[in-house]
A = this chain, B = another copy of it.
Amino acid sequence: MAQIVTLPRNETGIETAIGILKQRFGEQLQTGQAIREQHAHTTTWLPNQPPDAVVFARSTQDVADIVRVASEHKAPVIAFGTGTSLEGHVNAPAGGISIDVSQMDKVLKVHPEDLDAIVQPGVTRKALNEYLRDTGLFFPIDPGANASLGGMAATRASGTNAVRYGTMKDNILALEAVLPNGEIIRTGGRAKKSSAGYDLTRLLVGSEGTLGIITELTLKLYGIPEAMSSARCTFPDVASACNAVIMTIQMGVPVARIELLDTDSVRAINAYANLNMPENPLLLLEFHGSEASVTEQAATFGELAADNGGTEFEWTTDAEARTKLWQARHDAYFALLRLRPGADGVASDVCVPISNLAEAVTRAQDKATELGLLAPILGHVGDGNFHASVLIDKNDSDECARCDQYLTFLSDLAISLDGTISGEHGIGQGKRQSLTKEQPSALSTMQAIKRAIDPDNIMNPGKILLD
């Protein structure tokens, strides 16, 4: 398949570094094949390129020690959280050492008055919210998978709540990170805003482990809303659904979630969850606020939906009914896979200005049909972000080639519609070529920064930038 990244290996350097680290870390360092392959797991169709060793770091100092040795011997290092990224971020195309931070899983401090928490990078989003349960606070970013917060920062993750709460870039106040030379730096601080120097926090967020390894995060928290309401509405076509969304956002309704499911996705969920929603494009919404406010928000949306041809509008504040509604969305990926038993799902995401969303979705659907592919679409439509899950037989090389063609089409389509090739999955290995099309003029500056911070290219080589 396309986009296989091959890089030269520095055999001697890697071997020497692992030898030294074995002395230092003993059983914390593992070289078994299963564990190495597991650390190159990509949740996608990219081939598995295992590292030569995995070190389970237990502290920032561990990470710094590993990186210092690796740096001295020019051996690649790849940070690993939960391995749920989707573009081959944890693959080791030049070999090297995977630094697994999953044991750095402590919530170090919660400041309820300041609505912030300091966590280690291996804390997962669900673990953090579990820890916060009795405080009345929560961390809103939800990319679907129970990813580690370090990994979510490194890939600039977002998800269903982003339309209201933003993405990881908006919810990190400060970072601690180990640079490619082994130095430990702190960026930002606990103040809610700052204009003190270059924004290194935002530079590290989304840098996919190529500039530094995140070892601590200071995150923004939010009060759990007094009330939540959920709603769903069916539309005759994607364009009508998008228009309802545009009006809702223009009106300033502070929607917390607004998800689009295309007809194929609704069909899949109906079958999977034994529901009988009309097999037409569907919007699923959630509103957060006071009791009065969530009622008002749902009602306002209902009116705008009706103005745009929406039918079967239902809404509820009942917790059980809400959970049922959203369970369907959360299970969507598994439901989609059932549309074609035995198939693998290749997930991609793009994001466009919302006025171009209907066109983007429609053209993507048409292209899939033209190529004979089944590629249902789900979208975080409030942001213009949508996911296509291509259901393929990986052993069918012709089908794989068509899937490749579809993914390239999708990226080119997003660029042509003033959008981005990746709303939330990152670049990794899979989208490096497309990044050169989306950001042609900015690429040399990205490269200059990479060279300045990581002159030997030891941090996650073969990701984001073409070499």
A residues near B, CB below 8 A? 111-116, 136, 155-158, 162, 166-167, 169-170, 179, 183-187, 189-200, 202-203, 205-207, 211, 222-223, 225-226, 246, 249-252, 254, 288-290, 292-293, 296, 300, 351-355, 383-385, 414, 418-427, 431, 435, 438-439, 441-446, 448-453, 464-465
Contact = CB atoms under 8 A, between A and B. Distances in A.
Nearest to A194: B420
A387 to B, nearest CB: 13
A353 B418 contact: no
A425 B293 CA distance: 36
The secondary-structure label for the interface of chain A is loop
A351 B191 contact: yes
A193 B162 contact: yes
Contacts of A202: 169, 199, 202-203
Contact of A192 (B288, B383, B446): B383
A417 to B, nearest CB: 9
Copies in the complex: 2
A190 B357 CA distance: 12
Contacts of A422: 194-196
A444 B187 CA distance: 12
Q: 9 closest A-B pairs (Cβ-Cβ)?
A: A452-B452, A202-B202, A113-B355, A194-B420, A191-B351, A156-B195, A114-B353, A223-B252, A192-B383
B200 A206 contact: no
Contacts of A431: 196
A421 B198 contact: no
A444 to B, nearest CB: 8
15 contacts: A114-B355, A156-B194, A169-B202, A194-B420, A196-B422, A196-B439, A198-B206, A198-B464, A200-B445, A202-B203, A203-B203, A223-B252, A290-B296, A451-B452, A452-B452
A247 to B, nearest CB: 9
Given A194-B351, A206-B199, A419 B189 contact: yes
